[in-house]
A = this chain, B = another copy of it.
Amino acid sequence: MITLDTPDTPFVVVDATRLDRNIQRLQHHLDTLGVPLRLHVKTSKSIDVARRVHADEPGPITVSTLGEAEYFADAGYRDILYAVGIDPHKLPRVAALIARGVDLTVLLDSSAQAEAVTGFSREHGVRIPALIEIDCDGHRGGVAPSDPALVEIAQILVDNLAGVLGHAGESYFAYTPDALRKAAENERDATVGAAHVLGIAGLPCPVVSVGSTPTAHSALDLAGVTEVRAGNYVFFDLVMAGLGICTPDDLALSVAVTVIGHQPAKNWIITDGGWMATSRDRGTQNQPVDQGYGLVTTLAGQPIPDLIMTGASQEHGILTPRPGTTHLTPDLPIGTRLRILPNHACATAAQHHRYHVINDASTTPVIDAVWTRHNGW
Protein backbone atom coordinates (compact mmCIF):
# COMPACT_ATOMS: atom_id res chain seq x y z
CA MET A 1 0.00 0.00 0.00
CA ILE A 2 1.42 3.35 -1.05
CA THR A 3 0.84 6.21 1.37
CA LEU A 4 2.07 9.78 1.77
CA ASP A 5 4.99 8.19 3.64
CA THR A 6 6.13 6.26 0.57
CA PRO A 7 7.50 8.51 -2.22
CA ASP A 8 10.61 10.57 -1.60
CA THR A 9 9.73 14.18 -0.85
CA PRO A 10 9.06 16.78 -2.13
CA PHE A 11 6.01 15.85 -4.16
CA VAL A 12 2.65 17.44 -4.77
CA VAL A 13 -0.58 16.04 -3.32
CA VAL A 14 -4.17 16.42 -4.53
CA ASP A 15 -6.93 15.82 -1.99
CA ALA A 16 -9.64 14.44 -4.31
CA THR A 17 -12.36 14.85 -1.66
CA ARG A 18 -11.70 18.59 -1.52
CA LEU A 19 -11.26 18.75 -5.30
CA ASP A 20 -14.70 17.21 -5.89
CA ARG A 21 -16.25 19.50 -3.28
CA ASN A 22 -14.77 22.58 -4.96
CA ILE A 23 -15.97 21.39 -8.37
CA GLN A 24 -19.50 20.74 -7.11
CA ARG A 25 -19.68 24.09 -5.34
CA LEU A 26 -19.01 26.14 -8.46
CA GLN A 27 -21.14 23.88 -10.65
CA HIS A 28 -24.06 24.36 -8.26
CA HIS A 29 -23.59 28.14 -8.24
CA LEU A 30 -23.46 28.35 -12.05
CA ASP A 31 -26.44 26.00 -12.36
CA THR A 32 -28.50 28.42 -10.27
CA LEU A 33 -27.36 31.27 -12.54
CA GLY A 34 -28.11 29.19 -15.62
CA VAL A 35 -24.75 29.70 -17.33
CA PRO A 36 -22.42 26.89 -18.41
CA LEU A 37 -18.84 26.56 -17.21
CA ARG A 38 -15.88 26.56 -19.57
CA LEU A 39 -13.23 25.03 -17.31
CA HIS A 40 -9.83 26.75 -17.47
CA VAL A 41 -7.28 23.95 -17.44
CA LYS A 42 -4.21 26.16 -16.95
CA THR A 43 -4.17 25.39 -13.21
CA SER A 44 -4.13 21.61 -13.22
CA LYS A 45 -3.14 20.99 -16.89
CA SER A 46 -4.37 17.48 -16.24
CA ILE A 47 -6.80 15.27 -18.12
CA ASP A 48 -7.48 13.43 -14.85
CA VAL A 49 -8.53 16.62 -13.07
CA ALA A 50 -10.67 17.73 -16.04
CA ARG A 51 -12.42 14.36 -15.94
CA ARG A 52 -13.63 15.15 -12.41
CA VAL A 53 -15.40 18.18 -13.91
CA HIS A 54 -16.55 16.46 -17.11
CA ALA A 55 -17.50 13.04 -15.81
CA ASP A 56 -19.40 11.82 -18.86
CA GLU A 57 -17.61 13.28 -21.87
CA PRO A 58 -15.10 16.04 -22.63
CA GLY A 59 -16.68 19.45 -22.08
CA PRO A 60 -15.71 22.96 -23.12
CA ILE A 61 -12.31 24.09 -21.85
CA THR A 62 -10.07 27.14 -21.82
CA VAL A 63 -6.32 26.75 -22.32
CA SER A 64 -3.38 29.10 -21.75
CA THR A 65 -1.00 27.48 -24.26
CA LEU A 66 -1.28 25.60 -27.54
CA GLY A 67 0.61 22.77 -25.83
CA GLU A 68 -2.39 22.38 -23.49
CA ALA A 69 -4.75 22.50 -26.47
CA GLU A 70 -2.82 19.69 -28.19
CA TYR A 71 -2.66 17.60 -24.98
CA PHE A 72 -6.40 17.91 -24.38
CA ALA A 73 -7.21 17.37 -28.06
CA ASP A 74 -5.28 14.10 -27.85
CA ALA A 75 -7.67 13.11 -25.02
CA GLY A 76 -10.75 13.83 -27.11
CA TYR A 77 -11.51 17.42 -26.12
CA ARG A 78 -13.04 19.26 -29.08
CA ASP A 79 -14.30 22.63 -27.76
CA ILE A 80 -11.24 24.65 -26.80
CA LEU A 81 -10.69 28.38 -26.24
CA TYR A 82 -7.07 29.54 -26.34
CA ALA A 83 -7.38 32.60 -24.09
CA VAL A 84 -4.06 34.37 -24.60
CA GLY A 85 -3.81 37.02 -27.32
CA ILE A 86 -2.83 35.28 -30.54
CA ASP A 87 0.71 35.60 -31.87
CA PRO A 88 0.35 35.38 -35.69
CA HIS A 89 3.35 33.02 -35.77
CA LYS A 90 1.22 30.41 -33.95
CA LEU A 91 -1.58 30.34 -36.54
CA PRO A 92 -0.26 27.23 -38.34
CA ARG A 93 -0.55 25.27 -35.07
CA VAL A 94 -4.04 26.67 -34.55
CA ALA A 95 -5.02 25.59 -38.08
CA ALA A 96 -3.54 22.12 -37.51
CA LEU A 97 -5.81 21.68 -34.47
CA ILE A 98 -8.83 22.88 -36.42
CA ALA A 99 -7.92 20.43 -39.21
CA ARG A 100 -8.02 17.65 -36.58
CA GLY A 101 -11.63 18.54 -35.86
CA VAL A 102 -11.05 20.75 -32.83
CA ASP A 103 -13.35 23.74 -32.48
CA LEU A 104 -10.48 26.01 -31.43
CA THR A 105 -11.18 29.69 -30.77
CA VAL A 106 -8.47 32.33 -30.48
CA LEU A 107 -8.37 35.68 -28.67
CA LEU A 108 -7.18 39.07 -29.90
CA ASP A 109 -7.50 42.79 -29.23
CA SER A 110 -5.90 44.59 -32.18
CA SER A 111 -6.45 45.24 -35.87
CA ALA A 112 -3.01 43.79 -36.58
CA GLN A 113 -4.00 40.45 -35.06
CA ALA A 114 -7.42 40.53 -36.75
CA GLU A 115 -5.73 41.13 -40.11
CA ALA A 116 -3.30 38.28 -39.49
CA VAL A 117 -6.16 35.91 -38.62
CA THR A 118 -8.27 37.00 -41.58
CA GLY A 119 -5.34 36.82 -43.97
CA PHE A 120 -4.33 33.35 -42.80
CA SER A 121 -7.94 32.25 -42.85
CA ARG A 122 -8.43 33.39 -46.45
CA GLU A 123 -5.09 32.07 -47.66
CA HIS A 124 -5.57 28.60 -46.16
CA GLY A 125 -9.34 28.29 -46.54
CA VAL A 126 -9.92 27.73 -42.83
CA ARG A 127 -12.24 29.61 -40.50
CA ILE A 128 -10.46 30.57 -37.27
CA PRO A 129 -13.08 31.66 -34.73
CA ALA A 130 -11.83 34.68 -32.76
CA LEU A 131 -13.08 36.42 -29.63
CA ILE A 132 -12.26 40.07 -29.07
CA GLU A 133 -10.73 40.67 -25.62
CA ILE A 134 -12.57 43.34 -23.63
CA ASP A 135 -10.69 45.41 -21.06
CA CYS A 136 -12.95 45.44 -17.97
CA ASP A 137 -10.71 47.11 -15.45
CA GLY A 138 -7.28 47.99 -16.81
CA HIS A 139 -5.42 44.95 -15.52
CA ARG A 140 -4.20 43.34 -18.74
CA GLY A 141 -5.04 43.42 -22.44
CA GLY A 142 -8.28 44.16 -24.26
CA VAL A 143 -10.20 47.06 -25.76
CA ALA A 144 -12.74 49.05 -23.76
CA PRO A 145 -16.37 48.55 -24.84
CA SER A 146 -16.50 52.22 -25.80
CA ASP A 147 -13.31 52.11 -27.85
CA PRO A 148 -13.99 52.54 -31.60
CA ALA A 149 -11.31 49.85 -32.12
CA LEU A 150 -13.87 47.24 -30.98
CA VAL A 151 -16.03 47.62 -34.06
CA GLU A 152 -13.02 48.15 -36.33
CA ILE A 153 -11.49 44.84 -35.22
CA ALA A 154 -14.83 43.06 -35.58
CA GLN A 155 -15.21 44.41 -39.10
CA ILE A 156 -11.78 43.11 -40.06
CA LEU A 157 -12.60 39.67 -38.65
CA VAL A 158 -15.80 39.30 -40.71
CA ASP A 159 -16.74 35.60 -40.67
CA ASN A 160 -14.06 34.76 -38.09
CA LEU A 161 -15.78 36.88 -35.43
CA ALA A 162 -17.10 34.60 -32.68
CA GLY A 163 -17.79 37.00 -29.81
CA VAL A 164 -16.22 38.82 -26.87
CA LEU A 165 -14.31 37.84 -23.74
CA GLY A 166 -13.72 39.69 -20.46
CA HIS A 167 -11.56 38.84 -17.45
CA ALA A 168 -11.84 40.77 -14.19
CA GLY A 169 -8.20 41.18 -13.23
CA GLU A 170 -9.25 43.55 -10.46
CA SER A 171 -11.02 40.71 -8.66
CA TYR A 172 -7.67 39.45 -7.34
CA PHE A 173 -7.47 42.64 -5.31
CA ALA A 174 -11.08 42.70 -4.05
CA TYR A 175 -11.09 41.94 -0.34
CA THR A 176 -14.74 42.22 0.59
CA PRO A 177 -17.83 40.38 -0.65
CA ASP A 178 -19.11 43.72 -1.89
CA ALA A 179 -15.94 44.47 -3.84
CA LEU A 180 -15.98 40.97 -5.33
CA ARG A 181 -19.61 41.28 -6.35
CA LYS A 182 -18.88 44.64 -7.95
CA ALA A 183 -15.91 43.16 -9.84
CA ALA A 184 -18.21 40.42 -11.15
CA GLU A 185 -20.86 42.95 -12.15
CA ASN A 186 -18.28 45.12 -13.83
CA GLU A 187 -16.86 42.14 -15.73
CA ARG A 188 -20.33 41.22 -16.94
CA ASP A 189 -21.36 44.79 -17.73
CA ALA A 190 -18.23 45.51 -19.78
CA THR A 191 -18.40 42.26 -21.71
CA VAL A 192 -22.15 42.24 -22.32
CA GLY A 193 -21.87 45.94 -23.16
CA ALA A 194 -19.28 45.17 -25.82
CA ALA A 195 -21.59 42.53 -27.29
CA HIS A 196 -24.33 45.18 -27.48
CA VAL A 197 -22.00 47.57 -29.31
CA LEU A 198 -21.28 44.87 -31.88
CA GLY A 199 -24.99 44.09 -32.17
CA ILE A 200 -25.81 47.73 -32.86
CA ALA A 201 -23.15 47.69 -35.58
CA GLY A 202 -24.85 44.65 -37.10
CA LEU A 203 -22.02 42.29 -36.21
CA PRO A 204 -22.75 38.81 -34.83
CA CYS A 205 -21.60 38.08 -31.26
CA PRO A 206 -22.73 34.61 -30.25
CA VAL A 207 -20.17 34.16 -27.46
CA VAL A 208 -20.08 36.40 -24.38
CA SER A 209 -17.42 34.82 -22.17
CA VAL A 210 -16.49 36.08 -18.68
CA GLY A 211 -14.62 34.73 -15.76
CA SER A 212 -12.04 34.45 -13.07
CA THR A 213 -12.24 32.26 -10.00
CA PRO A 214 -13.20 35.18 -7.72
CA THR A 215 -15.92 36.57 -9.98
CA ALA A 216 -17.31 33.15 -10.95
CA HIS A 217 -18.08 32.55 -7.26
CA SER A 218 -19.29 36.08 -6.56
CA ALA A 219 -21.59 36.79 -9.51
CA LEU A 220 -25.29 37.07 -8.60
CA ASP A 221 -26.60 37.71 -12.10
CA LEU A 222 -25.05 36.72 -15.41
CA ALA A 223 -27.74 37.92 -17.80
CA GLY A 224 -26.33 38.20 -21.30
CA VAL A 225 -23.34 35.97 -20.54
CA THR A 226 -23.04 32.69 -22.47
CA GLU A 227 -20.20 31.03 -20.53
CA VAL A 228 -18.07 31.41 -17.40
CA ARG A 229 -14.37 30.57 -17.26
CA ALA A 230 -12.66 29.48 -14.02
CA GLY A 231 -9.70 27.24 -13.33
CA ASN A 232 -7.96 27.90 -10.03
CA TYR A 233 -11.10 26.92 -8.06
CA VAL A 234 -10.50 23.19 -8.54
CA PHE A 235 -7.54 23.45 -6.15
CA PHE A 236 -7.96 26.91 -4.61
CA ASP A 237 -4.98 28.42 -2.75
CA LEU A 238 -3.99 30.92 -0.06
CA VAL A 239 -4.46 33.89 -2.38
CA MET A 240 -8.09 32.82 -2.90
CA ALA A 241 -8.46 32.22 0.85
CA GLY A 242 -7.08 35.72 1.44
CA LEU A 243 -9.83 37.09 -0.79
CA GLY A 244 -12.43 35.14 1.18
CA ILE A 245 -13.46 32.97 -1.79
CA CYS A 246 -12.54 29.83 0.16
CA THR A 247 -10.93 28.83 3.44
CA PRO A 248 -7.60 27.04 3.92
CA ASP A 249 -9.66 23.87 4.58
CA ASP A 250 -10.76 23.94 0.93
CA LEU A 251 -7.23 23.83 -0.47
CA ALA A 252 -6.93 20.64 -2.51
CA LEU A 253 -3.28 21.07 -3.53
CA SER A 254 -0.32 20.82 -1.16
CA VAL A 255 3.36 19.93 -1.20
CA ALA A 256 4.64 17.06 0.94
CA VAL A 257 8.03 17.84 2.51
CA THR A 258 10.37 16.32 5.12
CA VAL A 259 12.17 17.97 8.04
CA ILE A 260 15.93 17.79 7.34
CA GLY A 261 17.32 20.19 9.94
CA HIS A 262 16.84 22.71 12.72
CA GLN A 263 18.36 25.99 13.79
CA PRO A 264 16.90 26.25 17.32
CA ALA A 265 18.50 29.63 18.07
CA LYS A 266 16.48 31.12 15.20
CA ASN A 267 13.33 28.98 15.68
CA TRP A 268 13.89 27.48 12.23
CA ILE A 269 12.77 24.11 11.00
CA ILE A 270 14.44 23.30 7.67
CA THR A 271 12.71 21.06 5.12
CA ASP A 272 13.60 19.56 1.76
CA GLY A 273 10.87 21.61 0.06
CA GLY A 274 12.31 24.84 -1.29
CA TRP A 275 11.03 27.13 -4.02
CA MET A 276 11.59 24.44 -6.62
CA ALA A 277 8.75 22.55 -4.92
CA THR A 278 6.45 25.47 -4.00
CA SER A 279 7.40 27.96 -6.75
CA ARG A 280 8.68 31.46 -6.04
CA ASP A 281 5.11 32.79 -5.95
CA ARG A 282 4.58 35.15 -3.01
CA GLY A 283 1.02 36.06 -3.94
CA THR A 284 -0.07 36.79 -0.36
CA GLN A 285 2.82 39.24 0.13
CA ASN A 286 0.59 42.22 -0.64
CA GLN A 287 -2.58 40.77 0.91
CA PRO A 288 -3.72 41.77 4.41
CA VAL A 289 -2.22 38.52 5.79
CA ASP A 290 1.16 37.53 4.35
CA GLN A 291 1.37 33.72 4.43
CA GLY A 292 5.05 33.57 3.43
CA TYR A 293 5.51 30.65 1.03
CA GLY A 294 2.61 28.79 2.63
CA LEU A 295 0.86 27.34 5.66
CA VAL A 296 2.14 24.16 7.28
CA THR A 297 -0.04 21.14 8.08
CA THR A 298 0.67 17.67 9.37
CA LEU A 299 1.00 14.93 6.80
CA ALA A 300 -2.67 14.14 7.47
CA GLY A 301 -3.60 17.72 6.63
CA GLN A 302 -4.23 19.13 10.12
CA PRO A 303 -3.13 22.78 10.27
CA ILE A 304 -0.24 23.46 12.65
CA PRO A 305 -1.25 26.76 14.26
CA ASP A 306 0.79 29.73 13.09
CA LEU A 307 3.62 27.68 11.55
CA ILE A 308 4.41 29.08 8.11
CA MET A 309 7.08 28.66 5.48
CA THR A 310 8.90 31.96 5.71
CA GLY A 311 11.99 31.25 3.62
CA ALA A 312 13.04 29.26 0.60
CA SER A 313 16.16 28.47 -1.31
CA GLN A 314 16.12 26.10 -4.26
CA GLU A 315 15.75 22.88 -2.26
CA HIS A 316 15.40 24.17 1.31
CA GLY A 317 12.31 25.50 3.03
CA ILE A 318 12.45 27.40 6.31
CA LEU A 319 9.45 27.03 8.66
CA THR A 320 9.03 29.45 11.55
CA PRO A 321 6.24 30.62 13.84
CA ARG A 322 4.31 33.43 12.19
CA PRO A 323 5.94 36.76 13.13
CA GLY A 324 4.20 38.14 16.22
CA THR A 325 2.57 34.89 17.27
CA THR A 326 2.92 33.44 20.77
CA HIS A 327 3.10 29.89 19.39
CA LEU A 328 6.43 28.19 19.93
CA THR A 329 8.20 26.22 17.22
CA PRO A 330 6.79 22.70 17.49
CA ASP A 331 9.10 19.77 18.11
CA LEU A 332 9.30 18.12 14.69
CA PRO A 333 12.26 15.72 14.51
CA ILE A 334 14.40 14.96 11.45
CA GLY A 335 12.37 12.82 9.07
CA THR A 336 8.96 14.27 10.04
CA ARG A 337 6.74 14.72 7.00
CA LEU A 338 4.55 17.79 6.65
CA ARG A 339 2.52 19.46 3.95
CA ILE A 340 2.64 23.06 2.69
CA LEU A 341 -0.55 24.79 1.50
CA PRO A 342 0.66 27.12 -1.26
CA ASN A 343 0.00 30.74 -2.18
CA HIS A 344 -0.77 30.05 -5.80
CA ALA A 345 -1.93 26.65 -7.02
CA CYS A 346 -1.22 27.39 -10.71
CA ALA A 347 2.42 28.20 -9.96
CA THR A 348 3.01 25.40 -7.45
CA ALA A 349 1.45 22.71 -9.63
CA ALA A 350 3.63 23.86 -12.54
CA GLN A 351 6.76 22.88 -10.60
CA HIS A 352 5.67 19.23 -10.77
CA HIS A 353 4.94 16.58 -13.40
CA ARG A 354 2.42 14.42 -11.54
CA TYR A 355 -0.09 14.59 -8.73
CA HIS A 356 -0.29 12.10 -5.86
CA VAL A 357 -3.98 11.70 -5.13
CA ILE A 358 -5.49 11.03 -1.71
CA ASN A 359 -9.11 10.67 -0.69
CA ASP A 360 -9.01 10.39 3.09
CA ALA A 361 -7.70 12.29 6.06
CA SER A 362 -6.27 9.45 8.12
CA THR A 363 -2.97 9.91 9.93
CA THR A 364 -1.06 8.67 6.88
CA PRO A 365 -3.34 9.01 3.86
CA VAL A 366 -3.22 6.36 1.16
CA ILE A 367 -2.17 7.43 -2.35
CA ASP A 368 -4.96 6.07 -4.53
CA ALA A 369 -3.75 7.32 -7.89
CA VAL A 370 -1.00 9.24 -9.65
CA TRP A 371 -2.28 11.75 -12.19
CA THR A 372 -0.13 13.28 -14.90
CA ARG A 373 -0.05 16.86 -16.13
CA HIS A 374 1.23 18.69 -19.20
CA ASN A 375 4.08 21.21 -18.88
CA GLY A 376 5.68 23.38 -21.52
CA TRP A 377 4.20 25.24 -24.45
Chain B hits for A266, CB < 8 A: 138
CB distance from A241 to the nearest CB of B (A): 18
Interface 9-mer from A3-11, A174-182, A197-205: A3-11
Contact A377 B87, beta carbon cutoff 8 Å: no
Q: A112-B334, A316-B141, A377-B11 are in contact. Are A85 and B261 (CB under 8 A)?
A: yes
Which of B113, B270, B277, B344 makes the CB contact (< 8 A) with A334? B113
Of chain B, the residue at the smallest CB distance from A66 is B8
Contact B84 A333, beta carbon cutoff 8 Å: no
Chain B hits for A10, CB < 8 A: 377
Contact B258 A87, beta carbon cutoff 8 Å: yes
- A338: Cβ under 8 A from any B Cβ: no
- A53: Cβ under 8 A from any B Cβ: no
- A110: Cβ under 8 A from any B Cβ: yes
CB-defined interface of A286-320 with B at 8 Å, one 1/0 digit per residue?
Answer: 00000000000000000000000000011110100
Contact A110 B261, beta carbon cutoff 8 Å: yes
Of chain B, the residue at the smallest CB distance from A376 is B353
Q: A8-B93, A272-B84, A276-B350 are in contact. Are A333 and B112 (CB under 8 A)?
A: yes
Contact A316 B260, beta carbon cutoff 8 Å: no
A344 to B276, CA, bound (A): 12
Contact B89 A261, beta carbon cutoff 8 Å: no
Of chain B, the residue at the smallest CB distance from A169 is B313
Chain B hits for A281, CB < 8 A: 275, 280
CB distance from A177 to the nearest CB of B (A): 24
Contact B347 A375, beta carbon cutoff 8 Å: no
Chain B hits for A85, CB < 8 A: 260-261, 270, 272, 316
CB-defined interface of A178-189 with B at 8 Å, one 1/0 digit per residue?
Answer: 000000000000
Contact A110 B334, beta carbon cutoff 8 Å: yes
A314 to B110, CA, bound (A): 21
A352 to B270, CA, bound (A): 27
A281 to B272, CA, bound (A): 19
A87 to B261, CA, bound (A): 9
Of chain B, the residue at the smallest CB distance from A283 is B280
CB distance from A85 to the nearest CB of B (A): 4
Which of B86, B88, B260, B279 makes the CB contact (< 8 A) with A87? B260
Of chain B, the residue at the smallest CB distance from A140 is B316
Contact A347 B42, beta carbon cutoff 8 Å: no
- A90: Cβ under 8 A from any B Cβ: yes
Select the residue from A66, A279, A282 with max chain B CB neighbours within 10 A. Answer: A279
Q: A138-B266, A352-B376, A376-B352 are in contact. Are A334 and B280 (CB under 8 A)?
A: no
Of chain B, the residue at the smallest CB distance from A172 is B313
Contact B140 A260, beta carbon cutoff 8 Å: no
CB distance from A135 to the nearest CB of B (A): 8
Select the residue from A112, A314, A347 with max chain B CB neighbours within 10 A. Answer: A314
Closest 5 CB pairs of A and B: A280-B280, A85-B260, A112-B334, A141-B261, A280-B281
Knowing that A8-B93, A113-B260 are A-B contacts, what are 7 other residue pairs whose CB atoms are under 8 Å apart, sorted by A's residue number? A85-B260, A87-B272, A116-B335, A141-B260, A275-B347, A279-B280, A282-B282
List 14 A–B pairs whose Cβ atoms lie within 8 Å, in order of A's numbering.
A8-B90, A10-B377, A42-B315, A64-B314, A84-B316, A85-B272, A85-B316, A110-B262, A113-B260, A116-B335, A140-B313, A141-B261, A169-B313, A353-B375
